């Protein structure tokens, strides 16, 4: 019998602090994580005013450069990397929404320096993951990157962001329900590598949001408290799996196709939530339960609420496998016909 040689590496945050007013502890977190020297704050125009400059002012004893950037693109990542090299930064503080945290992941990975994620909103489940989404003219692509060394999620700040962003983040986590079904499907039919721990964590995160859907409301900081833990947990499941598999299946492929066909119409999590209604129907599961939980939260449940034409929804379902031919899902290897896609969309009320 051969010697056992299996090895697995799991990278995830060391410190996670969430709650009211915790942003005031950013300097203490840096100290606890032994971060010294110069740092770069990655933030945006609006998020700099919301929290970026506050974080800079709280970093007494550190030399901090504030770098304001836009969307998460390869060009923006190169710009921030050059800036961090110029200032000889030894760590990064990502203060903003998903795009700023994604940029920090890419730059952290490239420069081999740690970063702390300080979200000002929670529109998707990537806060604590080691995957980043970069935008281009060809749509969004997921890339392997660094996991934050620390996460500082101030519920007071996140509660002040537009509620639509939080609802989108919740919808993104709910879509785990079909992502893990796709993963298990691929395990059974294709022998794909599988992590029971990552599966269970992603499932637990989704079920937590589902069970609390009636408690998640606009303008209530406690709603952020309820949602932020599963949102962070969902991201950690990706780190455990070493891929986006536990949180990304056919529903994400449909969403990415919508990004290509109808860019800027809806948020990522909103699209994934609606798409998970469709893919759960294909799995023969409780698609009505997903629809009702999304409606409770105030997330879209159909094409009209997404602001996307019905024919584009049908196209996205039928052509979703073109996004990732290497990822086997309930859509099969070659997808489904537009006739079947339309039937599924009409049966579920998505169109």
Query: What tens-digit pLDDT sequence spans the chain (351 residues)?
Result: 567 878 877 788 899 999 999 999 999 999 999 999 999 999 999 999 999 999 999 999 999 999 999 888 889 999 999 999 999 999 999 999 989 999 999 999 999 999 999 999 998 888 988 888 887 766 667 777 889 999 999 999 999 999 999 999 999 999 999 999 999 999 999 999 999 999 999 999 999 999 999 999 999 999 999 999 999 999 999 989 989 999 999 999 999 999 999 999 999 999 999 999 999 999 999 999 999 999 999 999 999 999 999 999 999 999 999 998 899 999 999 999 999 999 999 999 999
Determine the Cα–Cα distance for residues 241 and 274; give it in Å rounded to an integer: 25
Contact (Cβ atoms closer than 8 angstroms) between residue 35 and residue 170:
no
Determine the Cα–Cα distance for residues 154 and 58; give it in Å rounded to an integer: 14
161, β-bridge pairs: none
pLDDT attached to residue 139: 63
Determine the Cα–Cα distance for residues 117 and 319; give it in Å rounded to an integer: 35
Determine the Cα–Cα distance for residues 286 and 289; give it in Å rounded to an integer: 5
Contact (Cβ atoms closer than 8 angstroms) between residue 237 and residue 216:
no
3-state SS, one letter per residue, for the chain: CCCCCCCCCCCCCCEEEEECCHHHHHHHHHHHCCCCCEEEEEECHHHHHHHHHHHHHHCCCCEEEEEECCCCEHHHHHHHHHHHHHCCCCEEEEEECHHHHHHHHHHHHHHCCCEEEEECCCCCCCCCCCEEEEEECCEEEEEECCCCCEEEEEHHHHHCCCHHHHHHHHHHHHCHHHHHHHHHHHHHHHCCCCCHHHHHHHHHHHHHHHHCHHHCCCCCHHHHHHHHHHHHHHHHHHHHHCCCHHHCCHHHHHHHHHHHHCCCCCCHHHHHHHHHHHHHHHHCCCHHHHHHHHHHHCCCCCHHHHCCCHHHHHHHHHHHHHCCCCCCCCCCCCCCCHHHHHHHHHHCCCC
Q: Write down the residue that tokens 């492929």 correspond to.
A: 253
**13 is written with which tokens?**
């945050």
- Taken in order 256, 261, 263, 269, is the CA torsion positive or negative? negative
């Amino acid at each position: 019998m051969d010697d056992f040689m299996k090895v697995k590496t799991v990278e995830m945050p060391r410190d996670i602090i969430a709650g009211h007013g915790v942003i005031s502890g950013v300097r203490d977190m840096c100290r606890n994580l032994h971060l010294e020297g110069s740092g770069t704050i990655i933030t945006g125009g609006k998020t700099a005013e919301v929290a970026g400059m506050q974080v800079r002012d709280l970093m007494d004893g550190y030399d901090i450069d504030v770098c304001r950037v836009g969307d998460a693109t390869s060009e923006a990542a190169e710009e921030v990397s050059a800036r961090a090299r110029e200032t000889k930064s030894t760590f990064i503080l990502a203060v903003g929404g998903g795009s700023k945290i994604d940029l920090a992941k890419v730059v952290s990975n490239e420069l081999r320096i740690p970063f702390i994620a300080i979200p000002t909103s929670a529109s998707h489940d990537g806060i604590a993951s080691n995957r980043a989404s970069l935008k281009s003219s060809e749509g969004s692509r997921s890339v392997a990157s660094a996991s934050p060394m620390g996460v500082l999620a101030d519920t007071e700040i996140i509660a002040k962001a537009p509620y639509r962003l939080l609802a989108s983040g919740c919808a993104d986590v709910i879509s785990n329900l079909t992502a893990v079904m796709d993963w298990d499907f691929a395990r059974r039919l294709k022998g794909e590598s599988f992590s029971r721990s990552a599966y269970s964590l992603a499932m637990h995160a989704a079920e937590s949001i589902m069970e609390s859907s009636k408690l998640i409301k606009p303008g209530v900081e406690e709603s952020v408290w309820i949602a932020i833990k599963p949102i962070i947990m969902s991201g950690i499941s990706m780190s455990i799996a070493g891929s986006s598999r536990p949180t990304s299946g056919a529903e994400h492929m449909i969403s990415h196709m919508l990004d290509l066909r109808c860019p800027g119409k809806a948020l990522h999590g909103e699209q994934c939530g609606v798409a998970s209604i469709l893919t759960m129907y294909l799995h023969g599961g409780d698609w009505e339960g997903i629809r009702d939980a999304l409606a409770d939260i105030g997330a879209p449940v159909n094409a009209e609420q997404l602001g996307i034409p019905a024919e584009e929804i049908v196209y996205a379902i039928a052509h979703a496998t073109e996004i990732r031919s290497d990822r086997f899902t309930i859509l099969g290897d070659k997808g489904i016909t537009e006739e079947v896609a339309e039937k599924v969309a009409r049966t579920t009320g998505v169109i």
